[in-house]
Amino acid sequence: MTELSGDWCGMQAPETGTTIVAVSYDKVFLLRSGSAADTQLVSDYVRYYAEQHAIGLEQPPSVKTIANLVKQMNYQNKQMLLGAMIIAGWDREAGGQVYGCPIGGTLLEEPWTTDGSGSTYIWGFLDHAFRDNMSRSEAEELVIASISLAMARDGSSGGVVRLITISKDGAERRLVKGDEVLEAIFLFLVA
């Protein structure tokens, strides 16, 4: 997640082969990979607990709190769950943030992260292309290009790219369809 001097933050968290689930108040999103059943379950519980918590706090929980909820579920039920998730969002305390919640119950905050089966094909690309303090459009183009490259090689990824950009003004969704994907890679590489 790049946080810029404005309040943009790109959701620098491409995750292939997954759908994205809104957790709390349109400013925190959970990305799911691994066992679909496990991650759906965790997301349901986390949304439930986050909403309960928000009632007590009288404001949305912080991104870190929600990431911690995901981690607690992963860690306490380590034997039974096989889901790797990413929490990405924006809050007033710390701006844009990305948290990795891999299998086993670790919690680590990172500038960017990727997960899922297709992620293996794009780590090198992201290592190479990620910069701190990218603009919003640079961040979006990078994420779309990364997912497109993963879709090109991973059998378990494909179809469309669902991109969500979260900032202080909320979340904006953008869909890149499969046939526009090659164009996205090309545009990124020549820009």
Partner 1 sequence: MFAKGPSHSTALGPGCAGPPLANPQNFGQAGPGAHEHGSHQPSCGAAPFAVDASMLRSAGSQPHKHTQSPYVTGSSVLGITYAGGVMLASDTLASYGSTKRYKSVQRLVKVNETTVLGAGGEISDLQYILNMLDDLSTEDYCADDGQSLSSQELYSYLSRVMYNRRNKMDPLWNSLLIAGLESGKPFLGSVNMIGVAFSDDHLATGFGSHLARPLFRKKHRPDMSEEEATALIREALEVCYYRDKQSINKFQIAKVTTAGGVSISDAFALPTKWEYQAFVDPTRDAVGVW
Does 74 sit near partner 1 (CB under 8 A)? yes
Distance CA 1, CA 98 (A): 6
Backbone angles phi, psi at 124, to 5 degrees: -60, -40
**Residue 101 CB, nearest approach to partner 1 (Å):** 10
**Residue 185 identity (one-letter amino acid):** I
Q: Which is nearer to partner 1, 116 or 176 (CB)?
A: 116
Please say which residue, 59 or 106, places its beta carbon nearer to partner 1. Answer: 106
Provide the residue count of the chain: 191
Binding of partner 1 by 72 (CB under 8 A): yes
Near partner 1 by CB under 8 A: residue from 22, 25, 105, 180: 105
Q: Which two tokens stand for residue 171?
A: 């979340």
Binding status of residue 45 toward partner 1 by CB under 8 A: yes
Q: Alpha-carbon distance 122 to 140, whole Å?
A: 15
Q: d(Cα 89, Cα 21) in Å, to the nearest integer?
A: 12
* Residue whose entry in the numeric block shows the structure tokens 């794009």: 122
Across the chain, which distance is largest between two alpha carbons, in Å?
Answer: 50
Compute the least distance from the CB of residue 151 to partner 1, in Å: 21
Among 9, 11, 30, 73, binds partner 1 (CB under 8 A): 73
Decide: 110 and 132 in contact? Cβ < 8 Å: no
Query: To the nearest whole angstrom, how small is the minimum distance from the Cβ of residue 180 to partner 1?
Result: 31
Q: Which stretch binds partner 1 (CB under 8 A): 9-17, 26-34, 74-82, 157-165?
A: 74-82
Out of 19, 59, 76, 133, which residue is the one contacting partner 1 (CB under 8 A)?
A: 76
Residue pair 180/188 in contact (Cβ under 8 Å)? The answer is no
Contact positions vs partner 1 (CB under 8 A):
41, 45, 49, 71-80, 100, 102-108, 110, 120
